[in-house]
Amino acid sequence: MSNNLLKGKRGIIFGALDSNSIAWITAERIFEEGGIFVLTNAPVAMRMGQINELAEKTKSTVIPADATSTDDLENLITKSMEILGGKLDFVLHSIGMSINVRKGKAYTDQNYDWTHKGLDVSAMSFHRVMQSLYKNDAMNEWGSIVALSYIAAQRVFPDYNDMADNKAFLESVARSFGYFFGKDKKVRVNTISQSPTPTTAGKGVKGFDGFIKYADKMSPLGNATAVDCANYTIALFSDLTKRVTLQNLYNDGGFSNMGVSDSIMDTIENS
């Protein structure tokens, strides 16, 4: 299905690790909608991932960049503009990682070196990406920047651990940098708060299987899939949403406004 919503638009997509990644599925959909882009991921992830396969499929170039390195980001942005033939119209930040989560360290027993690393990778990297784009004047007017978030930024999900704090930081950066990007460059900045989705990052969270089933039972429309997230991102990259900015937008089947659902009540009453 294509509506050519991104025809003639150029961008950078961060975070396609494997075919389950939200960024991978978004790249496929952006390609279908006529957008051209550079794919990027951390050099260490490239060896594990199958990103070259995606690059071939979407006729795109891969440039490695660690999102915690300003030098890598400067190189990525300069080279992307050369390869794509001009300034950028869209950027997707689809990056998240917590060593505390990965190693099963409880929120009440943090290893702060790991907490610091997770914050740098998952949240400060969004500021770093935008600062590099801003300083290099790399975005076209009416361009659009999106990062992916989760509702643990607002509500308590104990096993989401320090990623909850990282997402709160990420959403705040979207608003704070979005102000300057809007005022100075007419560029919009938003976060999409996505349902639990079975990806490498998602499945790394303790109790993920319960998490995803609970969210699905709670949401009147059920969980939003990675394809739903890709489609929402495309809407935000398109000219149809030109004055949507500084928002955290829920793509979650209604979960964020629910208190309880019949389905959850049935499960509890019958347990």
Ligand X SMILES: NC(=O)c1ccc[n+]([C@@H]2O[C@H](COP(=O)([O-])OP(=O)(O)OC[C@H]3O[C@@H](n4cnc5c(N)ncnc54)[C@H](O)[C@@H]3O)[C@@H](O)[C@H]2O)c1
Q: By CB under 6 A, name the binding residues for ligand X.
A: 14-15, 17, 21-23, 41-42, 45, 66-68, 94-97, 121, 148-150, 194, 196-197, 199-202
Minimal distance, residue 134 CB to ligand X, in Å: 19
* CB nearer to ligand X: pick between 185 and 230: 230
* CB nearer to ligand X: pick between 196 and 253: 196
Minimal distance, residue 222 CB to ligand X, in Å: 14
* CB nearer to ligand X: pick between 121 and 174: 121
User: Dihedral (C-alpha) 189, 127, 230, 199: value to the nearest 10 degrees?
Assistant: -150
**What is the C-alpha to C-alpha distance for residues 40 and 46, in angstroms, rounded to an integer?**
9
* CB nearer to ligand X: pick between 45 and 84: 45
Q: Which run of H or of E encompasses 36?
A: strand 36-40
* CB nearer to ligand X: pick between 185 and 252: 252
* CB nearer to ligand X: pick between 186 and 203: 203
Pairing state of beta strands 36-40 and 61-62? parallel
Distances (CA, A) of 36 to 7, 103, 202, 235: 8, 37, 27, 16
Long-range CB contacts for residues 56-60, cutoff 8 Å, separation at least 24: 57/28, 57/31, 58/27, 58/28, 58/30, 58/31, 59/31, 60/27, 60/31, 60/36
- Give the rounded distance of the alpha carbon of 106 from its chain centre: 24
Minimal distance, residue 118 CB to ligand X, in Å: 9
Minimal distance, residue 97 CB to ligand X, in Å: 4
Minimal distance, residue 103 CB to ligand X, in Å: 15
